[in-house]
Structure 1
């Protein structure tokens, strides 16, 4: 048997120095932060940000990303629409500058023309791609002088809807066209892209 301790030794409690206390505290903190299993204490979660100044819940990363994508798409669509409108205005302005006077003259000449005029065989039309006109509905009108002398021409183009009703009328013309020569004015519609309209050659008069 091991010798028994004296009463003085048995009654003395070990003194804990500050260094020992500090190590014990550190061990307790580490044990609390570790991910224990079984019946051990649950791991404490990281501190959440202070949301007292928020007016609502902060969006999730997915929602924020989706909102950003939608905003970007809307901005791109708006920019594309603005660009198309600008191209259409530029196209119309360039055509108007070249044909305004001829259009006014053609309208005046056709005012008292009965029927469809005397020059339908000398006029043809071809649609222009909207990509070239900034989205404007436009047709290239080809006028060919098939006579043996100089002549002037007035042409009326009607734009009709699906029911065949005339929604818009435009006039183009050519003056002092030499025999065998061609002129190619452009007739364009100022109506919206929808509903779609169909151009039709209404009148053509040689004078």
Structure 2
């Protein structure tokens, strides 16, 4: 029977390493941190290794100066350009929808509307037929989303007459942003016509409409 000699414990050696915290801008200067790891020379299961990683200190942004990176400026310009493009697309879409809806209107109505605009150029004030005209809203579900109003024109005289009507569309601030003209020709006494005043503006912002002038001739 043989008795083994006790194993000599291997000396513990320590290695030091210096790690530079690159890339961190500090108000005072660049800082360094030292790491120390200790362990035995062997790689046996009984070895006890310890290590840690330094926690970097956030840079003091209060000491930064200068202008923001150009990438941020480019991003802001891109957002503005996208907003302008979206608004332009909405306006084009609304105009196209109005044109398509108007295409269903008869040629006679289109001619009467053109004549109405010419007649109102010589009208004085609000005209002589404001009491013969009224507006009625038309559901957007029936117009493909277009803002369209029924202009109710009633000949309240005892003679045949034609009518020219100007409809103004106002934005939420009360500013006139669009004007449309409609007309009705040769209405007999008591007869009623209902042409449409159609806006070409986008759905937003919401517009309101009013009779600006109405001339009987």
Task: Name the TM-score, length of structure 1 as normaliser.
Answer: 0.56
| Aligned equivalent of 1:119, options 129, 133, 143 | 129
Q: Counting helix residues as a fraction of each chain, which structure ranks higher?
A: 1
2:97–2:146 Cα contact (<8 Å) kept: no
Give the ranges of 4+ consecutive aligned residues of structure 1 lying more than 4 Å apart after TM superposition.
84-89
Task: Name the TM-score, length of structure 2 as normaliser.
Answer: 0.54
Match of 1:144 in 2: 154
C-alpha RMSD of matched pairs (Å): 2.1
1:95, distance to aligned residue in structure 2 (A): 2.6
2:164–2:183 Cα contact (<8 Å) kept: yes
- Say yes or no: does 1:106 pair with 2:108: no
Evaluate the alpha carbon distance shift between residue 116 and residue 192 of structure 1 in structure 2; reply closer, same or farther with a 3 A threshold.
Answer: same
2:171–2:177 Cα contact (<8 Å) kept: yes
1:144–1:182 Cα contact (<8 Å) kept: yes
Q: Counting strand residues as a fraction of each chain, which structure ranks higher?
A: 2
1:149–1:178 Cα contact (<8 Å) kept: yes
- Say yes or no: does 1:186 pair with 2:178: no
1:158–1:199 Cα contact (<8 Å) kept: yes
Stretches of structure 2 lacking an aligned partner (at least 5 in a row): 1-93
Evaluate the alpha carbon distance shift between residue 167 and residue 86 of structure 1 in structure 2; reply closer, same or farther with a 3 A threshold.
Answer: closer
For the residues of structure 2 that align with 1:158 and 1:85, how far apart are their CA atoms?
A: 17
1:88, distance to aligned residue in structure 2 (A): 5.3
1:102, distance to aligned residue in structure 2 (A): 0.8
For the residues of structure 1 that align with 2:213 and 2:183, how far apart are their CA atoms?
A: 11
1:86, distance to aligned residue in structure 2 (A): 8.1
